[in-house]
């Protein structure tokens, strides 16, 4: 009996691990790869998956998923030092599920075409919880026939799947979503500190926001478990949030759209990320805001 064609999966981080794990659990033959060798080995042990020590391991890969920090790293893995594209069988489908600047595809797509592959983008929203539950929102851009080939995988990893247009349109959508989400997180933290200084309990304020018009994804899912708890452990890095905001900002510039409020949000995220370092969770932006204000959130 011939072995089934493999699904390559590069980037087994906070998101990639549960996404690739769900593909394993659904019965797909997965070949995983991560720059962190220990993580890669642990993935193989946990899910009984194959792992790739080099690009040659993808010789039987029919569809390859990338779930890497940003577009520059995706380009490096596919056509730069990683050289993965050249090792895929002709006619493979590359599915970039990372969040990154769509301009990264300018270096990748000429090689995709020259080698006879196809490529779509499919960034996601829903966090590590959505990745574990297989309920991610997937925004996918590219040729319809290519997206059709990815649908059986998307149906395992995602809940809602949107076709957003051409290649890169998913990335634009994702970056703009995260601009809205991150701005709401930061303004919510400012609201809580201001309320506390007025004499209101920030936990009560968040509960009221949650059933009032100030409600947003942060009041609902982030403030109580990750900010007021002081755990700052949502599983989404602040450096990744800052990167998404830079992408959104670049899209605003490209489309010549004046966005003064967003400009400030991008600057704040960037400064917070630089101050708190590469390992900070995005909810730790509260620490940076608190320091500027000179007060700490203390729910009673």
Characterize 275-287 residue by residue with b for buried, 16 or more Cβ atoms within 10 angstroms of its Cβ, and e for exposed. Answer: ebeeebbbbbbbb
Nearer of residues 193 and 272 to ligand NAD, judged by Cβ? 272
Q: Tell whether residue 128 is a contact of ligand NAD (CB under 6 A).
A: yes
The minimum distance between CB 212 and ligand NAD, in angstroms, equals 26
Q: Which is nearer to ligand NAD, 102 or 237 (CB)?
A: 237
Task: Choose, by CB under 6 A, the member of 7, 24, 55, 67 that binds ligand NAD.
Answer: 67
| Distance of closest approach, residue 211 Cβ to ligand NAD, in angstroms | 25
Residues within window 218-277 making contact with ligand NAD, judged by CB under 6 A: 235-237, 240, 244
Q: For 281, which DSSP code?
A: B
Question: Which helix (H) or strand (E) covers residue 176, if one does?
Answer: helix 169-198
Task: Count residues near ligand NAD (CB under 6 A).
Answer: 29
Secondary element (H or E) of residue 160 = strand 158-165
* Pair 159, 137: CB distance under 8 Å: yes
**Two tokens, residue 47:** 């899910």
168 touches ligand NAD by CB under 6 A: no
In the complex with ligand NAD, the residue whose CB is nearer, 41 or 200, is 41
Give yes or no for residue 217 binding ligand NAD (CB under 6 A).
Answer: no
Q: Where are the alpha helices (DSSP H) in 48-160?
A: 71-78, 105-114, 127-133, 144-157
Strand partners, 111: none
For ligand NAD, which stretch binds (CB under 6 A), given 34-42, 46-54, 263-271, 283-291? 34-42
Give me 48's structure tokens: 């009984």
Q: Is 73 in the site for ligand NAD (CB under 6 A)?
A: yes
- Does 158 sit near ligand NAD (CB under 6 A)? no
Catalytic sites, residue numbers: 174
* Residue 33 near residue 52, CB atoms below 8 Å: yes
- Which residue from 149, 145, 86, 75 is spatially nearest to 115, judged by alpha carbons? 86
Comparison of 11 and 168: residue with beta carbon closer to ligand NAD = 11
Residues that bind ligand NAD (CB under 6 A): 10-16, 33-36, 39, 67-70, 73, 77, 98-99, 124-125, 127-128, 235-237, 240, 244
């Amino acid at each position: 009996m011939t072995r089934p064609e493999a699904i390559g999966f590069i980037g087994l981080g906070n998101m990639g691990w549960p996404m690739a794990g769900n593909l394993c659990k659904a019965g797909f033959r997965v070949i995983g790869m991560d720059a962190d060798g220990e993580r890669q080995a642990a993935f193989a042990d946990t899910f009984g998956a194959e792992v790739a020590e080099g690009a040659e391991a993808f010789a039987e890969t029919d569809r390859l998923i990338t779930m890497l920090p940003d577009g520059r790293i995706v380009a490096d893995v596919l056509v730069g030092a990683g050289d993965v594209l050249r090792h895929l069988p002709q006619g493979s489908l590359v599915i970039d599920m990372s969040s990154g600047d769509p301009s990264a595809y300018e270096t990748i797509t000429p090689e995709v075409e020259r080698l006879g592959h196809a490529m779509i983008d499919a960034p996601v929203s829903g966090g590590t919880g959505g990745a574990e539950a297989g309920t991610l929102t997937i925004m996918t851009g590219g040729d319809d026939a290519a997206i059709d080939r990815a649908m059986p995988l998307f149906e395992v990893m995602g809940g809602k799947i949107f076709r957003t247009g051409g290649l890169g349109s998913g990335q634009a959508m994702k970056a703009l979503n995260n601009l809205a989400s991150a701005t709401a997180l930061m303004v919510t933290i400012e609201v809580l500190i201001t309320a506390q200084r007025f004499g209101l309990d920030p936990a009560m304020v968040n509960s009221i926001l949650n059933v009032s018009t100030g409600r947003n994804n942060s009041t609902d899912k982030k403030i109580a478990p990750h900010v007021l708890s002081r755990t700052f452990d949502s599983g989404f890095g602040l450096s990744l949030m800052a990167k998404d905001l830079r992408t959104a900002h670049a899209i605003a510039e490209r489309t010549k759209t004046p966005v003064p409020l967003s400009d400030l949000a991008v600057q704040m995220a960037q400064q917070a990320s630089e101050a708190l370092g590469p390992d900070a969770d995005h909810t730790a932006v509260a620490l940076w805001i608190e320091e500027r204000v000179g007060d700490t959130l203390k729910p009673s």
